[in-house]
Amino acid sequence: MTENLNNYEFLPKNDYLLLKTFNLGFKNKQILIIIINREKSLNAVNIDILKSLINILKHVENDSNILSIILTGAGNKAFIAGADIKSMNTYHPEDAYKYSVLGQDLVKLINSFDKPVIAAINGYALGGGCEIATACHLRYASENSIFGQPEVKLGIIAGWGGTVNLKRVIGLGNATKLLISGDTINSDEALKVGLVNMVFPLENFLQSVIKEVKSFCKNSPNAIKNTLLSINSFNNDDPYKKESNLFRDSFKHEDSSIGLSAFLRKEKPEFK
């Protein structure tokens, strides 16, 4: 794989994201690999990362040499362990609404992307991490992966498309259970309910995902584009707007302060 792509100098000057390419061996075609690079923070996503991911995808969309995108996390403990709770704990309701809309801008862009976006889930995919993974067209998980939407345990709701996309992927009943219980499931359970497409051993995990992605990169890019556009025709902005409004409103309630603050203190919240 090749690093330090000259074509992507538009990236903000930070180390939160790493870009690599895998050459497919024909006509200079490549797979772009985007790595969330906050391993010490379990690759938690902050505002800078959200903006950078949106920026990258918008530029890559018109790059005919990139046939597919793989999104993964640094290390072997986490894909994306969630949103940045330290930042969220300071949010007023309107800050929360803007944060929700920004996260939804990313998941809607992934939803509607006309090249396959693949989540290579190498560990925790919680909260916003599960929402970003769910937005991707395909999800491949390592054996140690853990999935969940724990927002209700923090006194808030999923705000990056979780209440919209999860039910589409795993069905209303399974989605509702994950969203209102806040419980987690492992990779085997995720495979059973259809949250992931395949599970691989952690050893050589990314190479296994690349091998799968290579198999459909041989197909017609235009046919894939039109297939994805047809599949994604379900998209409607109304449920996203509704979710952002409810995400904002959850920050008006004291439960959000109780839950977020307790998390940072590593204590169990005591909701009134």
Residue 269 domain flag:
no
Confirm whether 151 is a catalytic residue. yes
Kindly report, residue by residue over 59-107, the tens digit of the pLDDT: 999 999 999 999 999 999 999 999 888 889 999 999 999 999 999 999 9
Evaluate if residue 147 carries a pLDDT over 90.
yes
Evaluate if residue 112 carries a pLDDT over 80.
yes
Which position among 151, 203, 243, 267 bears the catalytic label? 151
Residue 158 domain flag:
yes
Kindly report, residue by residue over 175-227, the tens digit of the pLDDT: 999 999 999 999 999 999 999 999 999 999 999 999 999 999 989 999 999 89
Confirm whether 39 is a catalytic residue. no
Q: Which domain holds residue 163?
A: 2-205+217-264
> Which residue blocks in 155-267 are alpha helix, DSSP H?
162-170, 172-181, 187-193, 205-217, 221-231, 237-250, 254-264
CATH code assigned at 46? 3.90.226.10
Measured distance CA(69)–CA(210) in Å, rounded? 10
To the question of pTM greater than 0.85 for the whole model, the response is: yes
Which position among 61, 131, 203, 267 bears the catalytic label? 131
Paired with 200 in beta bridges are: 142
With H, G, I as helix, E, B as strand and everything else as coil, classify residue 135. helix
Please provide the average confidence, as pLDDT, over all residues in the chain.
91
Structurally, the chain folds into a number of domains equal to 1
Burial class (CB in 10 A: 0-12, 13-18, 19+), 244: buried
